[in-house]
């Protein structure tokens, strides 16, 4: 189960198709798009860290849009390469870690009395870094074993939308409460996703190894 339905994804890809075609005509390669997306997410982390939460949310949302373009350009233009896949996956992990690190810095540097849950927010942000990296690693490791592992409650798209849209509209909330609970919910959802992927891979691998029942038995 995913939080973003396939129908919504199809609408999004349809809307961004003219942009993909424009990038191809301009000769922009997928690796350059990946680099720009990573620079946006790092800038987002810096904005979060210095307290510009709405700007950080906007940059994070834009980085998510850009992140969908590199693969679309590569597939449409016949530029899919193993290095490109490695490059994209590696820089995506930079983005996962940087965003929550920036949020941790926001709570760490906030003036006394301006935020509540300071220590819990810093801790939950660090757990969020580990959880988001584990979500991606579980899928990558499963695919390395030849298992398509896209199961789970939240993937990168859900994390980007779940974090950026509310904070873009309302900022961190009174004394940072809204941002804290968004990160907390995303962290729990990411941990649930990790467990779902563990269970899925276990079922697939153990099912493949299970001996067939003798014919004629019930």
Q: Which domains does the chain have, with CATH numbers?
A: 6-209 (1.20.120.1760)
How much is the pLDDT for 3? 67
Please compute, for residue 150, the number of CA atoms within 13 A of its CA located in the half-sphere on the CB side.
7
How much is the pLDDT for 155? 85
How much is the pLDDT for 2? 62
How much is the pLDDT for 50? 96
DSSP calls for 59-102 = HHHHHHHHHHHHHHHHHHTT---HHHHHHHHHHHHHHHHHHHHH
Contacts of 15 (CB under 8 A, 6+ apart): none
Q: Which two tokens stand for residue 91?
A: 């820089």
Q: Which two tokens stand for residue 75?
A: 């597939």
How much is the pLDDT for 1? 54
10-residue block means of pLDDT along the chain (218 residues)?
A: 70 84 89 93 96 96 90 85 86 88 96 92 96 90 88 88 95 96 96 94 78 43
Q: Give the single-character DSSP code of 213.
A: P
């Amino acid at each position: 189960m995913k939080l973003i339905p396939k129908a919504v994804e199809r609408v999004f890809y349809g809307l961004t198709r003219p942009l993909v075609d424009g990038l191809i005509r301009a000769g922009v390669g997928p690796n350059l798009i990946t680099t720009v997306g990573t620079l946006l997410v790092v800038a987002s982390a810096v904005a979060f860290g210095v307290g510009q939460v709405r700007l950080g949310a906007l940059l994070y949302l834009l980085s998510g849009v850009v992140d969908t373009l590199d693969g679309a350009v590569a597939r449409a233009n016949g530029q899919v390469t193993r290095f490109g896949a490695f490059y994209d996956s590696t820089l995506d992990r930079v983005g996962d870690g940087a965003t929550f690190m920036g949020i941790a810095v926001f709570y760490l540097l906030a003036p006394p009395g301006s935020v509540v849950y300071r220590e819990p927010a810093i801790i939950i942000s660090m757990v969020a870094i580990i959880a988001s990296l584990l979500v991606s690693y579980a899928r990558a490791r499963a695919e390395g074993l030849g298992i398509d592992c896209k199961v789970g409650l939240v993937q990168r798209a859900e994390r980007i939308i779940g974090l950026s849209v509310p904070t873009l509209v309302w900022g961190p909330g009174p004394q940072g409460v809204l941002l804290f609970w968004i990160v907390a919910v995303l962290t729990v959802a990411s941990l649930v996703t990790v467990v779902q992927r563990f269970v899925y891979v276990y079922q697939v691998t153990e099912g493949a190894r299970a001996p067939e029942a003798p014919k004629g038995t019930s």
